[in-house]
Amino acid sequence: MGVTKAEPGLTREEIDTFWSEGYLVVRGVLTADEAKHFASLVLDLLPPDLSIPDHWESFDGRIKPFHAAGDQTFDGPEIIPLYQNERLYTVMAQLLQSPRLLVRDGSLAITIRNDTRHESELSQQLHLDPAVPEDVDEFLFTLQETEIGGCFYFTDVEPHGGGIHVVPGGHRIVEEEARAAPRGRQLHDKWRNISHLETVEVTGAAGDFVLMHHLMPHAASHNRRSLTRVVQFLRYARDDQPYQAGERPGDRPTDRGYDEAQLAAMTPLGRKLLGVDRW
């Protein structure tokens, strides 16, 4: 199907698991050394005196660096290799059944230990970040509309280590509920506040990528361990995604452009995934 042959994709069984559960951990996308390298790049963003800049987010031990106010995409030359990782691309192309993909997001999160007692293990409301804009009333439920995102774990994430929480099979529950109601995109405060579903924490090792369907309810959790959790979020969609051109909060402003150093870091695949060259 025109993807890089050398990169192993998912097995038939893994593909089935992804579509039935709505999430899947792809093991060892990065080597332990690569993961360590990216973890330290991200941790280096923290000001040495730990004074969190005003334009970042920080709550309950979860620190979200912002590149600039309102812009959480980090896509400097040192980070670009992650966007164009060939193994991850192969997996995404397999699942989305097209080699012509686009990548976005590239936001980061650092979750430090937080022992404060909270009612919930979650440090965010359970929510969706779907590819469908908030002012659209109905999901299409097509493969063209589907975005597959998720995160690289740059550190080992053991139980209660701040792993992302998901609802096994949750994307199918969302689809059923949204199909059964008029204006299904608008349910549960536009799916920003889902309070009726049970979650599980996704653990993993440094270098794993946690794949998630865009209709998977998910949330960040408290890290009860001393090991800081460091992650990067990425989303892949087909180039015929109906809303790809639509801007959403947190998306990279398309007018920022790429400088020479960024372009130099891009492979031919990266140039297409990042929209520099057309497929």
Ligand X SMILES: O=C(O)CCC(=O)C(=O)O
Applying CB under 6 A, the residues found at the interface with ligand X are 109, 129, 164, 218, 220
Q: Distance between CA 73 and CA 83 in Å, rounded?
A: 11
Which CB atom, from 24 or from 109, has the smaller least distance to ligand X?
109
Q: Which of these, 108, 124, 118, lies nearest to 63 by C-alpha position?
A: 108
CB of 271 to ligand X, least distance (A): 27
CB of 208 to ligand X, least distance (A): 13
Q: Distance between CA 185 and CA 100 in Å, rounded?
A: 26
CB of 23 to ligand X, least distance (A): 12
- According to the binding rule CB under 5 A, does residue 105 interact with Fe ion? no
DSSP state of 92: H
Angstrom distances, CA of residue 166 to CA of 44, 144, 170, 205: 29, 23, 8, 17
Which CB atom, from 191 or from 265, has the smaller least distance to ligand X?
191
CB of 109 to ligand X, least distance (A): 4
Q: Distance between CA 81 and CA 59 in Å, rounded?
A: 29
Q: Distance between CA 230 and CA 222 in Å, rounded?
A: 13
Strand partners, 63: 58, 110
Label residues 230-269 b or e (16+ Cβ within 10 Å = b). Answer: bbbbbbbbbbebbbeeeeeebbbeeeeebeeebeebbeeb
Q: Which of these, 132, 203, 128, 125, lies nearest to 164 by C-alpha position?
A: 203
Q: What residue 220 binds from Fe ion, ligand X, none (CB within 5 to 8 A, per partner kind)?
A: ligand X
The answer to whether the beta carbons of residues 224 and 37 sit under 8 Å apart is no
CB of 267 to Fe ion, least distance (A): 28
Q: What residue 109 binds from Fe ion, ligand X, none (CB within 5 to 8 A, per partner kind)?
A: ligand X
CB of 127 to Fe ion, least distance (A): 6
Which CB atom, from 75 or from 129, has the smaller least distance to Fe ion?
129
For the window 113-152, what string marks contact with Fe ion as x by the rule CB under 5 A?
Answer: ----------------x-----------------------
Element (H, E) at 237: strand 229-238
Q: What residue 269 binds from ligand X, Fe ion, none (CB within 5 to 8 A, per partner kind)?
A: none
Which CB atom, from 129 or from 145, has the smaller least distance to Fe ion?
129
Which CB atom, from 36 or from 127, has the smaller least distance to ligand X?
127
- φ, ψ (nearest 5 deg) of residue 213: -65, 145
Which CB atom, from 36 or from 127, has the smaller least distance to Fe ion?
127
Q: What residue 105 binds from Fe ion, ligand X, none (CB within 5 to 8 A, per partner kind)?
A: none
Which CB atom, from 134 or from 240, has the smaller least distance to Fe ion?
134
Task: For residue 48, give the amino acid letter.
Answer: P
CB of 139 to Fe ion, least distance (A): 17
Binding site for Fe ion (CB under 5 A): 129
